[in-house]
Structure formats: C-alpha cells, structure tokens
Chains A and B, each alone.
Chain A
Amino acid sequence: MDLYAENILDHYRHPRNKGQGPLAKGQAVITHMEENLSCGDTVTIHLSIKDDCITEISWDGTGCAISQAAMSLLSEELQGKTLSEVESLTPQNVYDILGVPIGPRRVKCALLGLHVLKNTLRMKERKELQGWNETVGND
C-alpha cells in the first residue's frame, strides 16, 4: 500500500483541529512543543483537560505529510479520551490509525505527534520529559 494513501494526503492537505491556538476560555490549557531535529518538523499541542479527560485539542506544526497527517489523525482520536487512555497509547496504535506501512526512515515522522502528546502529559504532571527512544519503544 502507498505511504501517501488518499487518507494521509487528505489529512495533510486539510488537517483537522489545526491552527486554532489555545482553546477553552477560562479553562486550563496545557501547551507543549517538540521537534524532530533531523528534518526540522515541529508540532505544538494545546490540550484542555477537565476531570482527567481531554475536552479539547488544538495543534500547530510544520513538516512532512506523514508527521502532519499523523498529528491530524491522532487529534481526532483524542477527543474525550481519559489521561490514562492517552498514556497507554503505543506506537502501534498510531501506525494502525495511519493505516499505511511506516518504514524505519519514517518512524519519527509518524510518531512526532505521539511524542509531543506524551510529553505534554508529562509536563502537566511535572515529570521528566521522555526521550525519543522511549516514545519509539526502544527502551
């Protein structure tokens, strides 16, 4: 199957939940940014969290079709998820959401969104941020 499947290209061209900045007036919003230094891709996430549940998500970023489509697809999955559900998300979950074969060279593109998401939660809990090896599952 083509990496640049119609679904991926659609999310790349028309990203969901993108570019609305921090949302939820009067409600705590947590923001975090990560980048993939080897290609310059960046993703910033804004999460509104109420009762340990994600009530709203907005994100911004620049980069390749895979990193941006993956974040767009992931953002759709996150609405209403509990924090523990988010914490248990795995790279495989992201690959399944993408539904296209991700080769070794594109793993970090596909997982940039997951990486920033995990670290947004860690920031919220004032925990040490996780490295790429942990996100990718090499640890």
Chain B
Amino acid sequence: MRRQFPVLRRSINGRPLVYLDSAATAQMPEAVCLAMARWNKEQKSNVHRGMHVLAEESTVAYEDARTAVQKFLNAAHPDEIIFTKGCTESINLVARSWGETHLQEGDAVVLSMLEHHSNVVPWLQLKDRKGSDVLWMDIDEDGMPKLDDLKKHLKTGRVKLVAITALSNVLGIAPDLKTIIAMAHDAGAWVLIDAAQAIAHMPIDVQDLDCDFLAFSGHKLYGPTGIGVLYGKRKLLEKMPPFLGGGMMIRSVTQEGFTPADLPGKFEAGTPPIAEAVGLAAAIEWMQQYSWEDIQAHEQELLRFAIDNLRLIPQLHVLGTDGKSQIINHKSPIVYGCLSFTLDSVHPHDLTEILGRQGIALRAGHHCCMPLHTKLGIPASTRLSVGIYNMKEEIDVCAQAIVDAQKKLHT
C-alpha cells in the first residue's frame, strides 16, 4: 500500500516523512499521478468543442469521470454531478445561485457549530446581501449538533436550508445526518451536506441520505487539487440560474441575451479542470479496490491507538474524547479521520514547527473553524489526521516527539 504513494518515500532532515495531515489534503497514489500524466501527454484537448480525435477522447474521459463520481455517490443521474474547482466553490455555487433566487429577507439558513469557514462565510455573505438570517445549532457535550436547536429553528417556519458537515474537520465527529435531513424536510427546508472530510472516510449514498446538495473536493479523496464536486437533485439544479457566465454554460447567445445550457453544462462555465477530473476518477477507481469495511477498520484502529497513546501524555487534552477534558466530555469516542488536541502551555504552532523539522506533519491553528474554537474557549489546537496509508508506528513516533517537544520548550 505505502509503496504506491511516491511522497511517502521522502525523508525530511534525514527522517522518514510521517504524514498525519490528510484532513488538509490526502496524498495521491501513483495510479492517479499516472492517469493525469497520461492525459496531459497523450490526450490533452478541450472538451465538448472539437471534432478531432483528441477532443473526442478528452470528452469521453471527462464524462466518464462524471459517471464515476455519480456511481461513487450513488446519484440517480450523471447530470446531477457538477464539477467545480473545489468544495468551497461548490458551496458558493449553491449560495450564489440557489441562495440569490430562493432566499428572501427574513428567511434563514441553519448551520452547526462544527462548520468549516467554507460552509459559514458564503451564508454570512448572503446575510449581508439579502438580509437572510444565519441560525446556529450549538453542540452538546459529545460534540454533536443539538437537535433541539434545529427543532427550535425549524419551528420558526423561516428556515429554507440546513447546511451541515458530514464530518467535523476538528473533532472527527459525524453528525446524525439522516435524522437532521428528515427533520429539515418535514419542515420544508432543503439540506446541503459538506462532505469535504467524510468523503474519504465513510461511504456516502446521496439517495439513501436524501440530501438535496452535497459538496466535496477531489484532493481529500487521494485525488488532485483543483477539482471539486457539487451533487444536487436534478429538479433543484434545473430551477437554479447559472453561477458563472461564459462558454459551455449557454445554449445560445445573441446581442440581447442568452439561454443557458442544460445540466450539467449550465454550471460549468469555461474550460473545466479536465486533467483533474481524470485524476479524480482514477482516485475513485483506486480507492474502490479496498472495501469500506477494511478502510474504516484500519482508520479506527489508528485513531483508537492515537487517542490511547496521546492521553498518556501529561497536560494533553484530546478535544471531544478526553474524559478529563474540561472542553467536551465525549461519551462515545468514535471519531473518523482526525482528532485534535491541546497541550497546556505549548502553542500548537511551536509544537507543529518542532515536529515538522523531524518530518512529522500535523496541522495547527483554528483549522478554519473559528466559531467552534471560540465555543471551546481555545484559540487554536493541533490536529492529527489519518489516511489509508498511515501506520501505528507513525503514531508512536509522533507521540514520542510530542513528549520531547514539551520537554524542550519547558525545561
């Protein structure tokens, strides 16, 4: 497995790379690098625009990628898959296109305290422009969004959309999406799922979930940067106006106006990220050689091991899973993908800088979740995230390095 990832052969300052930052971006297997290189070397051509052989091959490859994503998410139709440049653009597309036309002053969007800024700021921008409200679901002691808050907000009758993460990029906690979606639908609100983190750690079936929109990025799914996906139910996407204007998104243009193209072209103005779509399809194909059962068992073992080991370090508090933590007392410590922690009197930037010099890659800061960190009463935390390629030995190396760094800074 590890041999398939070229970057994992790297050493930094004479030590092997210990990459525990897959929640920021996951590394790409050789198969993905090769698929992209092959397209770039042998097939590079624009899509849907030429009649020549390269254009034909490119168009087929791009549309095959769409079908691969459709199957991966179990979407009903390929034209429900819109390619964007990333999860952030996907959410912004919904905020701009759907939000501008469907939200009026006084309408509300519900968010949870777990949200990443990419699922917060587009709705705050809309609040500034349209006068729509942003209502928050606080989190309970287990780190789960409070369903009582959702119920209370839905009762106002003003909620048009619930936008919620499928997996916290800080706490590793997965909200109960099915319940939330059912509650929202009962109250006549649509639901957007931010699957940026979840996409690489749990199976997602959009028809089973019955979500209305779902967004993710390719690069967290062992694919390339520069490509993201927006899934939307066809009947919703059809009623939404185009987001960006340009080529590909039109049926016809006159001096006076234009008619937009059908789905999915309507939302894909300009030359799309074709090599990246090919890379994303290769990443999905590559991942599907492993079962979700095996991936989850492996990652659960790693995270369990990490929690057990980090907890032994004095003054270290794992957010959301540490019984002694004042911050959240997590009763059912099941986390996916990542965990975050604080270390008394050691700043996350010092810790990650010192570990970084030993080849250990962790993420420090507020992880683009300032509302959550404010709620937890901490300015920043350090995050350890795992991928399909990590090993227990790496967690050991990391835990020892944390102890050493603590000593270095305070003795």
Question: What's the tally of chain B residues with a CB closer than 8 Å to chain A?
Answer: 16
Determine if A106 is an interface residue (Cβ-Cβ < 8 Å): yes
Query: Contacting A40 at CB < 8 Å: which of B350, B353, B354, B379?
Result: B379
A65 x B365 contact (CB < 8 A): no
Interface code B338-364, partner A: CB below 8 Å = 1, 0 otherwise? 000000000111100110000000001
Instruction: Identify which of B350, B364, B378, B379 contacts A66 (C-beta below 8 A).
Output: B350
Spell out B's residues near A (CB within 8 Å).
Answer: 347-350, 353-354, 364-366, 373, 378-380, 408-410
Q: CB of A3 within 8 A of chain B?
A: yes
What residues on A are CB-neighbors of B408 within 8 Å? 4, 9
Contact A13 to B410, CB < 8 A, known contacts A39-B347, A65-B347, A65-B350 = yes
Could you say which residues of chain A place their CB within 8 Å of the CB of B409?
Answer: 4, 9, 12-13, 65
Residues of B within 8 A of A12 (CB): 409
The answer to whether residues A39 and B365 also contact, given A4-B409, A63-B347 and a CB cut-off of 8 A, is: yes
Q: Which residue of B lies closest to A64 (CB)?
A: B347
Question: In the assembled complex, how far is the CB of residue B170 from the closest CB belonging to chain A, in whole angstroms?
Answer: 14
B353 (CB) vs chain A CBs: closest residue: A3
* For the complex of A and B, 4 pairs with smallest distance between CB atoms: A40-B379, A64-B347, A64-B349, A64-B350
A105 to B349, CA, bound (A): 10
**Interface residues contributed by chain A, number (CB under 8 Å):** 17
A residues in contact with B366, CB < 8 Å: 38, 40
* A contacts, CB < 8 Å to B: 3-4, 9, 12-13, 38-41, 62-66, 105-106, 109
**Interface pair B379/A39, CB less than 8 Å apart:** yes
- A65 to B365: give the CA distance in the assembly, Å: 15
**Could you name 6 residue pairs across A and B whose Cβ atoms are closer than 8 Å?**
A4-B354, A9-B409, A39-B348, A64-B347, A65-B350, A105-B353
Query: For A106, what are the chain B residues with a Cβ–Cβ distance below 8 Å?
Result: 349, 353
Contact of B380 among A4, A39, A66, A105 (CB under 8 A): A39
A-side contacts of B348, CB under 8 Å? 39
Which residues of chain B come closer than 8 Å to A4, judged between CB atoms? 350, 354, 408-409
A-chain residues with CB within 8 Å of residue B354 when the two chains form the complex? 4
**With A9-B409, A65-B347 given, can you name 5 additional A-B contacts, CB distance below 8 Å?**
A39-B349, A39-B379, A40-B373, A40-B379, A40-B380
Q: How far is the CB of A77 from chain B (nearest CB, A)?
A: 23
Q: Which residues of B lie under 8 Å from residue A109 when comparing CB positions?
A: 349
